[in-house]
Amino acid sequence: MPAPPDAADTGSLPASPDAADAADTSAAQATQDAQSTQDTQATQDPQDAAPAVQDAPAAAPQRSRGADTRALTQVLFGQLKELRPGSPEHDRVRGALIEANLPLVRYAAARFRSRNEPMEDVVQVGTIGLINAIDRFDPERGVQFPTFAMPTVVGEIKRYFRDNVRTVHVPRRLHELWVQVNGATEDLTTAFGRTPTTSEIAERLRITEEEVLSCIEAGRSYHATSLEAAQEGDGLPGLLDRLGYEDPALDGVEHRDLVRHLLVQLPEREQRILLLRYYSNLTQSQISAELGVSQMHVSRLLARSFQRLRSANRIEA
């Protein structure tokens, strides 16, 4: 596998989940500090001191950008070590580190293009790994940050695919609630002489209609019928004969089942963004227009929500 890039122009990349809006200012100021460090170390770094290839002049700017980012990353980690975690200054420097190393995430995410997952989502998940790597990195160990961070970024992406690619997954709490919904449905059907409405079931159990719908959808996972079984009525085709084309709308069902029961743990604004993204199938641009915020801010909130939901899912498991 080719060596990962140290960085590239990050102007068109999505913002990191925890970076503050002033990260660009810190990055610019840190670049000035890094310039003097780069000049001092130029003769000590074998990669920077390597002779330029005369017949490939385009390689020089790329190598220069990589050297600039290495120097910038080194300076930023030095600053981060001196700041109190949680302080505004610490958050700004940490955000600048995330921004500077986002190309590393895109490099790792590109390895998973064949998974047919939106690349934007894979990059957001990889960004969580980048943040974890930044928080655990110790510059004094003498290891280059890209070398240290790459396994963490790739590991986070692999966990994302492992946790989300499931045939049937119903959380325990949702299963327990489904049993109650099923019992209430039978009782109300007997009492009313008809199938009860969602609101009637919700009122009976003192839960929300959304929870009732989640249980009904999850309950379908427990009923299996042979594709070869005959259907009611003579001459009707079997289920196998009724199978049609794949519905693209089903792609997000497993993800919705995974996060639906965890949404209550998120702030109201993040709940709304996740509902718009995965239940209304809006793009980040459409969500930003709906909420009147920048797409960059939507991207940060989505990534932050993913991190919270993933942590909660691991605890539950």
What's the one-letter identity of residue 288?
S
C-alpha 135/C-alpha 132 separation (Å) is 5
What pLDDT sits at residue 143? 87
Provide the 10 A C-beta neighbour count for residue 39. Answer: 10
> Residue 250 has which token pair?
């089903």
Interval 292-310: pLDDT, tens: 889 888 888 888 877 776 6
What CATH number belongs to 172-221+253-316?
1.20.140
C-alpha 46/C-alpha 43 separation (Å) is 7
> Residue 220 has which token pair?
């379908």
Helix axis angle for 59-82 and 23-41, nearest 10°, is 110
Q: Residue ranges of the domains in the chain?
A: 67-165, 172-221+253-316
Interval 54-101: pLDDT, tens: 343 444 445 545 566 777 888 888 888 888 888 888 888 899 899 889
What CATH number belongs to 67-165?
1.20.120.1810
> Residue 83 has which token pair?
């700041």
Nearest to 213 by CA among 153, 256, 271, 165: 256
Q: What is the 3-state secondary structure (H, E, C) of 211-235?
A: HHHHHHHHHHHHCCCCCCCCCCCCC
Please tell me the pTM assigned to this model: 0.36
The answer to whether 67-165 and 172-221+253-316 have equal CATH topology is no
